[in-house]
């Protein structure tokens, strides 16, 4: 069956990220054992609660602030700024690639993310090639905090099927986590890993060539 849809993860696929930047930013603020909060592909504790929608932004701020030795000195803005250091940015050539691919495929987004980044640094990054906005690059978008589920949980993939109106057998999913790729394949999606230092455009070319 022909591939009609391309389903993209954000971090590590479309967006360049560096976990260490975020850890160091929280260490400078004085967060004890900041490194323990952040996995390579998923967060833990209150950070994951923000990502899977089980905690609001206000609840996240309040809970995280209590982990600091000086909570009264830590503002919401400082927390948000440190958290968003996770994102390096989106190379403009990837934005242009999405525009080109949309001429041949329906383009969708499926991301483990949170409202702080979604409404902050990510919105700004997609807006840097005027007059485009994030919604101009995708035919539909699913975020973990809105779906109340996070990859690799099957629930978020099923949510994406319903909300985006896509069929797994017609959809190619890109992610930088093998666990997420395996979860998608188990549900009938075509799925490809985008390793560090690899462009999704090259992975797509290899996939297309193998199907000829």
Q: Of 9, 52, 175, 176, which is the active-site residue?
A: 9
Q: For the chain, how far is it from start to end, CA to CA, in angstroms?
A: 12
Tell me, letter by letter, the H, E, C secondary structure of the chain. Answer: CCCCEEEECCECCCEEECHHHHHHHHHHHCCCCHHHHECCCCECHHHHHHHCCCCCHHHHHHHHHCCCCCHHHCCHHHHHHHHHHHEEECCHHHHHHHHHHCCCCEEEEEECCCHHHHHCHHHHHHCCCCCCCHHHHCCEEEEHHHHCCCCCCHHHHHHHHHHHCCCHHHEEEEECCHHHHHHHHHCCCEEEECCCCCCHHHHHHHHHHHCC
Active-site residue flag, 58: no
CA distance 53 to 71: 24
Judge contact between 176 and 19, C-beta under 8 A: no
Judge contact between 6 and 204, C-beta under 8 A: yes
Residues annotated as part of the active site = 9
């Amino acid at each position: 069956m022909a591939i009609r849809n391309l389903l993209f993860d954000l971090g590590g696929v479309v967006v360049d990220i560096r976990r260490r930047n975020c850890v160091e930013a929280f260490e400078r603020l004085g967060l004890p054992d900041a490194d323990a909060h952040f996995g390579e592909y998923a967060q833990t504790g209150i950070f994951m609660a923000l990502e899977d929608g089980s905690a609001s932004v206000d609840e996240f701020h309040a809970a995280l602030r209590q982990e600091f030795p000086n909570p009264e000195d830590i503002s919401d803005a400082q927390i948000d700024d440190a958290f968003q250091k996770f994102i390096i940015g989106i190379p403009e050539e990837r934005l242009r690639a999405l525009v080109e691919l949309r001429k041949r495929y329906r383009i969708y987004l499926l991301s483990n993310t949170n409202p702080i980044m979604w409404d902050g640094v990510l919105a700004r990054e997609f807006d840097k090639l005027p007059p485009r906005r994030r919604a101009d690059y995708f035919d539909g978008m699913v975020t973990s905090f809105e779906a109340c589920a996070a990859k690799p949980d099957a629930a978020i993939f099923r949510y994406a099927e319903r909300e985006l109106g896509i069929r797994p057998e017609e959809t190619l999913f890109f992610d930088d986590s093998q666990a997420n790729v395996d979860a998608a394949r188990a549900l009938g999606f075509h799925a490809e890993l985008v390793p560090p230092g690899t462009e999704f455009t090259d992975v797509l070319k290899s996939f297309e060539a193998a199907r000829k």
